[in-house]
Amino acid sequence: MGTEDSIRPFEVDVSEVAVDDLRRRLDDARWPDDPPVPGWEYGADPTYLRTLCEYWRDEFDWDAFERRFNRFDQFTTSVDGQRVHFYHVRSPDPDAVPLLLSHGWPGSVAEFLDVLGPLSDPSAHGGDTSDAFHVVAPSLPGYGFSGPTDEPGYDVRRIATVFDDLMDRLGYDRYVAQGGDWGALITAILGATRPDRVAAIHTNLLFVSPSRFEDPTGMLDEEGMADYEATKAARDGETGYQAIQSTKPQTLAYGLTDSPVGLAAWIVEKFLTWSDSDGDVESSFDRDRLLDNLSVYWLTGTINASMRLYYETEFAEVVPDSVDVPTGHARYPVEVSRTPRAWAEAVYDIEHWVDMPEGGHFAAMEVPDLFVDDVRTFFADHRGFGGDPADG
């Protein structure tokens, strides 16, 4: 293995200089006027945001932040010329199945901190050893500890190839994959293009291109039409961020890279709106966990590159027309996009379709126990190839 292909241990180490700079910026923040109606109607709630940023400045425990991220083995390597950071959490069970976990935007590997242990060592978390996984959880190129991408054309399809190359480098000839948001599309692409290596996939979202169907809405029953209408309404009210990030991400990035308040507003509003929080984001996410995710973006300066993925990716070109590997789908009630089952079954080999009792877009972080249980349940029938990797 050459120098470029080497796998290097990694630990999160936050410098005092970085913390002092963040605190100074939070202390010197210039706040906008309040909206005419209190709350989240106009966007991020100023009362809540002030409270969160004051806590980030004065009380957030950076030593505990490092301990949370350094609890499991992390590494970096270079794939296709791009630095890739990843967790590689090997199970004590030698017959464990390799599992690739892929996150999305505006999340990070922070989403998976509560599920890495139960997935890799179930017997230590009240589960059965037979459900064990060797877990690989990368930071998407352009996100967090992977650092920014620096060339055009780095789209989600290319990330899927990078992740498959990473699994190969770790010695996994065959594996299963799970994802939400961008991670769901990465997972679908892997299922469509690497069926010889990907045994099965599980997603929180199912990407389809309705235009491929002769009569998209004519295919739908009453429930399917309800899903279609709900997703259309969410698209009308919740995708302004996507329009900006798909067209002029650089313009937005100046403010979000310079201002931690701006970054917090842009990201936390999505955690509120896309979760099962009923207007109280901290009913779904612990405050420290929200700041874990925010701090990853702030410390690494990757908000620009993360948004750029929207600019680089043409959905019409990358959404698969057919995914023929066994597919499991967990539908969380506050997920912003609900694919009608008739559309899903026309594209995916659906074997598992579950309406979850609670949770939203960031399921592994919001309802980790439910997430783990459903991942275990679906992949239980696709574990016939487990075992330790050859190397890595």
Q: Is 310 a catalytic residue?
A: yes
Largest CA distance in the chain: 61
Q: Which helix (H) or strand (E) holds 349?
A: strand 348-355
Three state DSSP letters for 301-316: CCHHHHHHHHHHCCHH
Annotated active-site residue in 227, 361, 374, 382? 361
Q: How far is Cα 176 from Cα 228, in angstroms, rounded to an integer?
A: 29
Q: How far is Cα 233 from Cα 248, in angstroms, rounded to an integer?
A: 24
Show Cβ contacts of residue 243 under 8 Å, excluding neighbours closer than 6 positions.
none
Annotated active-site residue in 87, 175, 310, 332? 310
> What are 234's two structure tokens?
């969410």
Annotated active-site residue in 114, 181, 227, 292? 181
Q: What is the CA radius of gyration of the chain?
A: 20
Torsion-angle region of 37 (φ positive above 0: left; ψ -120 to 50: alpha; else: beta): beta
Q: Is 280 a catalytic residue?
A: no
Q: How far is Cα 89 from Cα 122, in angstroms, rounded to an integer?
A: 12
Helix (H, G, I), strand (E, B) or coil at 326: strand
User: Cβ-count burial of 311 within 10 angstroms (0-12 exposed, 13-18 middle, 19+ buried)?
Assistant: middle
- For the chain, percent helix, then strand, then coil, each to nearest 5? 50, 15, 40
Q: Which helix (H) or strand (E) holds 271?
A: helix 260-273
Q: How far is Cα 325 from Cα 266, in angstroms, rounded to an integer?
A: 36
Phi then psi dihedrals of residue 182, to 5 deg: -55, -35
> What are 99's two structure tokens?
């599992």
| Residues with catalytic roles | 181, 310, 361
